[in-house]
Structure 1
Amino acid sequence: MKSKWLGARALDALTWAVVALMLAPIIWLLWSSLHLPAELALDGEPSEGLRWRNYVDLWLQVDFFNYFANSLLVCGAATLVSTAFAACAAYALARFRFRGEKAVSMSITATQVVPGMLFFLPLYMLYRHIGDEWGVAMLDTRHGLVFLYVALFTPASIWIMRGFFVSVPRELEEAAILDGCSRLGAFVRVVLPLCAPGLIATATFVFLLAWDELFFAWVLTSSPEVQTIPVGIRLFINQFQHRVDLMMAAGAVATLPVLVVFFAGQRYFIKGLAAGAVKG
């Protein structure tokens, strides 16, 4: 009994140590955002109190609202479209048997083992071709980023949703069809409400990945009117390198929506990942 008690306490101590290690950068971020740059130096003198003015300067001296609004618009649109596509595709894979089903499943899985960076050159050439031949601008546009994020994050979202659809008994749909619903009506009125946790988990998954994405947002956009928060913070390094406090404040503000979304959908997010991993 004593050895088990010691083992449990050691595991608790290790857990808290890992939590403290993960929270340390966030605490430093918040602390640095409330102090002057000179105070962050080794020989800096402490101030009389916290400098909340840094957050005011962030919105006044830097066009941070534009980056923030772009991120909300792009990530929100990508989340809605990707979740809708994933729900439809996952339902088809979970309920129907058709020729090429295994090939489709393997293709979706294969996209997850290829580094996204390898898609850059073909994607850039495709965007240039669409702009030159069809007259539809894709480079340096919000809808270009939305299209990219939907393509990148939908495959993994399909597998998250598929686990939920498999867990819904077919008899419920059959009963709805017997009562007069079409297949689409049964899907919308019966299956989707039962799979609401899966929808929330998928939307959370897509939003978190899209919000933090930097590489494609950096190389596919060039004007501040369409650039997102990760790009804006990256530009701060060159434009405001002497204002470390503003960069830290920007990082804190950028982290806030991510924390809100994650904690709001945490229970469904973890449940969705587990369902997508263990359901047949």
Structure 2
Amino acid sequence: MRTSRRRAFALNTLTWAIVALSLMPIGWMLLSSLRHPGDIVAGSVGFSDAPLRWQNYRDLWINVDFFTYFRNSLIVCGLTTVLSTLCALCAAYALARFRFRGARAASLGFTVTQVVPGMLFFLPLYMLYRSLGDRWGLQMLDSMHGLVFLYVALFTPASIWIMRGFFVSIPRDLEDAARIDGCSRFGAFVRIVLPLSAPGIIATATFVFLLAWDELFFAWVLTSSPDVQTIPVGIRLFISQFQHRYDLMMAAGAVSTLPVLLAFFAGQRYFVQGLAAGAVKG
């Protein structure tokens, strides 16, 4: 018993130490966002007698036009989350319930796409977007719908993997009973499967939103106008334009982190359940 208690105490201590180390950068960012630039340069960012500068957040929205980047990120990430979740919902249900030729190959293909770095297909993607604009008049470069289309293609395979695990864990007998009672397959899907798979849907939507919100590389190289650029690109440009305003940089980081934290904590329980269900074999 003493050995078990000591082991549990050691594991709890180690866990809290890791949590504290993980939260230190966030605490440093929040403190720096409320300090004078001179204090940050001098290294005196800790708890001091200097008053907190809440006007840093006001200056962020007024002087930098941060609202435009924030709005663009909400639009792009919101559309990406909805479309990717819907696509994953249909594809995952088909892979989990139907047996057809090529089902295993499709599942393997979705998994393989997750190990291919984005740098490898960036040049073909850029040439495709440019060709669509030159030949067909479909503006994909420097546009929100171009980013949304790309993000949906990037994040849907992993979303299918997560949701398929949820559909596999739902007994087929429930759908069979609903169909015996007069429901069509689509009716059984809407009335039985969707309510039971709500945690998986929320987990998938949270997963996609987190990935889309933090994506920088493609948003940086495929956009050039502030009217369509997202928060990661805005912060990157902000660093090059305001090199000595570290207080505003930290304030921008704090504001951009807030939606991600809210989305994660709102769907944290479902997100963990979704990842666990994704490991179900079937």
- Decide: shared fold, TM above 0.5: yes
Contact 1:214–1:231 at 8 Å: present in 2 too? yes
- TM-score when scaled to structure 1? 0.97
2:79 is matched with: 77
- TM-score when scaled to structure 2? 0.96
Shift of 1:123: 0.8
2:187 to 185, 188, 195: 185
Greater alpha carbon shift after TM alignment, 50-59 vs 103-112: 103-112
2:2 is matched with: 2
1:212 is matched with: 214
How far, CA to CA, are the matches of 1:168 and 1:275 in structure 2?
A: 10
1:94 to 86, 96, 110: 96
* Alpha-carbon spacing, 1:44–1:198, altered in 2? closer, same or farther (3 Å): closer
Secondary structure of 2:272's partner?
helix
Count of matched residue pairs: 280
Runs of 4+ in 1 over 6 A off after TM superposition: none
How far, CA to CA, are the matches of 1:60 and 1:143 in structure 2?
A: 27
1:108 is matched with: 110
Identity %: 74
Which amino acid in structure 2 is aligned with residue 40 of structure 1?
I
Greater alpha carbon shift after TM alignment, 263-272 vs 97-106: 97-106
2:18 is matched with: 18
1:167 to 166, 169, 184: 169
Contact 2:168–2:280 at 8 Å: present in 1 too? no
How far, CA to CA, are the matches of 2:3 and 2:108 in structure 1?
A: 48
Shift of 1:169: 1.5
Shift of 1:227: 0.2
Shift of 1:41: 2.1
Give unpaired runs (5+ residues) of structure 2. Answer: none
Shift of 1:50: 0.5
Which amino acid in structure 2 is aligned with residue 239 of structure 1?
Q
1:248 to 247, 250, 253: 250
Secondary structure of 1:111's partner?
helix
User: Is 1:195 matched up with 2:200?
Assistant: no
How far, CA to CA, are the matches of 2:187 and 2:194 in structure 1?
A: 10
2:122 is matched with: 120
Greater alpha carbon shift after TM alignment, 97-106 vs 147-156: 97-106
Any idea what the Cα deviations from partners look like across 1:95-129, whole Å, max 9, x if unmatched?
00011111111111110111122121111111111
Within 5 Å, give how 1:141-156 maps onto structure 2: 141-156=143-158
How far, CA to CA, are the matches of 1:43 and 1:115 in structure 2?
A: 38
Contact 2:169–2:280 at 8 Å: present in 1 too? no
* Alpha-carbon spacing, 1:237–1:189, altered in 2? closer, same or farther (3 Å): same
Greater alpha carbon shift after TM alignment, 204-213 vs 128-137: 128-137
Secondary structure of 1:41's partner?
helix
Contact 1:39–1:47 at 8 Å: present in 2 too? no
Shift of 1:179: 3.0
How far, CA to CA, are the matches of 2:82 and 2:3 in structure 1?
A: 51
Contact 1:83–1:202 at 8 Å: present in 2 too? yes
2:62 is matched with: 60
Secondary structure of 2:229's partner?
coil
Which amino acid in structure 2 is aligned with residue 181 of structure 1?
C
Shift of 1:259: 0.3
Secondary structure of 1:136's partner?
coil
Which amino acid in structure 2 is aligned with residue 139 of structure 1?
L
1:225 to 222, 227, 249: 227
How far, CA to CA, are the matches of 1:126 and 1:184 in structure 2?
A: 37
2:39 is matched with: 39
Contact 1:91–1:165 at 8 Å: present in 2 too? yes
Contact 2:85–2:201 at 8 Å: present in 1 too? yes
How far, CA to CA, are the matches of 1:150 and 1:139 in structure 2?
A: 16
How far, CA to CA, are the matches of 2:182 and 2:129 in structure 1?
A: 45
